[in-house]
Amino acid sequence: MRSERTDVQVRPGVAADLDALTDLYNHYVRETPITFDTDVFTSGQRRPWLLSHPEDGPHRLMVATDTDSQVILGYATSSAFRAKPAYATSVEVTVYVAPDAGRRGIGTLLYEALFSALAGEDLHRAYAGIALPNEGSVRLHERFGFRHVGTYREVGRKFGRYWDVAWYEKELPH
């Protein structure tokens, strides 16, 4: 696995990444129940999302690229868990790897970079909501110390059926 990972770099996301990040996300919007968005985004519609993840602070965007081609292979974010101020010490994290780039360690690289970037922030907990089934995501989150805290049953409807969401929690050192 290591030799395949050496051609991948991880860096903060920037405005110039917007089109590629929108395309990557739209694949999962269109094809899967992994995200509960149901309508694809234009880049313009997705811009506020990108701008809400600056290069510092608790809400980050990390992007994995192919070192040679600079093609975006995946991204990970930390975002506000909920809006009310006492939730500010918690973040919700997500990770998306391009469909043809799975199982090469890229999700792992992205989360290593994300949690390393968050280490100095005033954060206490990270949460991930995983629409089931998603064995790859469950394994990735467990590898990073997330523990299952409960499952919302049939909490969303997409493609004409209901889906469960398993919530995972990670303690962040500070």
Ligand X SMILES: CC(C)(COP(=O)(O)OP(=O)(O)OC[C@H]1O[C@@H](n2cnc3c(N)ncnc32)[C@H](O)[C@@H]1OP(=O)(O)O)[C@@H](O)C(=O)NCCC(=O)NCCS
Should residue 106 be labelled a site residue for ligand X when binding is judged by CB under 6 A? Answer: yes
| Closest chain position to ligand X (CB) | 107
- Backbone φ and ψ for 97, nearest 5 degrees, come out as -110, 140
Residue 54 or 102: the one with the smaller Cβ distance to ligand X is 102
Should residue 128 be labelled a site residue for ligand X when binding is judged by CB under 6 A? Answer: yes
What is the distance between the alpha carbons of residues 145 and 157, in angstroms, rounded to a whole number? 29
Site string (38-77) toward ligand X, x via CB under 6 A: ----------------------------------------
Pairing relationship of beta strands 125-131 and 90-97 according to DSSP bridges: parallel
Q: Which of 62, 97, 113, 118 binds ligand X (CB under 6 A)?
A: 97
Question: What burial letters (b/e) apply to 4-33, b meaning 16+ CB within 10 Å?
Answer: eeeebebeebeeebbebbbebbbeebeeeb
- Backbone φ and ψ for 40, nearest 5 degrees, come out as -65, 155
Residue 4 or 56: the one with the smaller Cβ distance to ligand X is 4
Q: Which of 8, 10, 63, 95 binds ligand X (CB under 6 A)?
A: 95
Half-sphere CA count of 163, side-chain side, radius 13 A: 20
Residue 56 or 142: the one with the smaller Cβ distance to ligand X is 142
Q: Which of 29, 49, 105, 164 binds ligand X (CB under 6 A)?
A: 105
Task: Count the helix, strand and coil residues of the chain and give each as a percent rounded to the nearest 5.
Answer: 35, 35, 30
What is the distance between the alpha carbons of residues 138 and 145, in angstroms, rounded to a whole number? 11
Q: Which of 30, 103, 124, 147 binds ligand X (CB under 6 A)?
A: 103
Contact positions toward ligand X, by CB under 6 A?
28, 34, 94-97, 102-108, 128, 130, 134-137, 139-140, 143
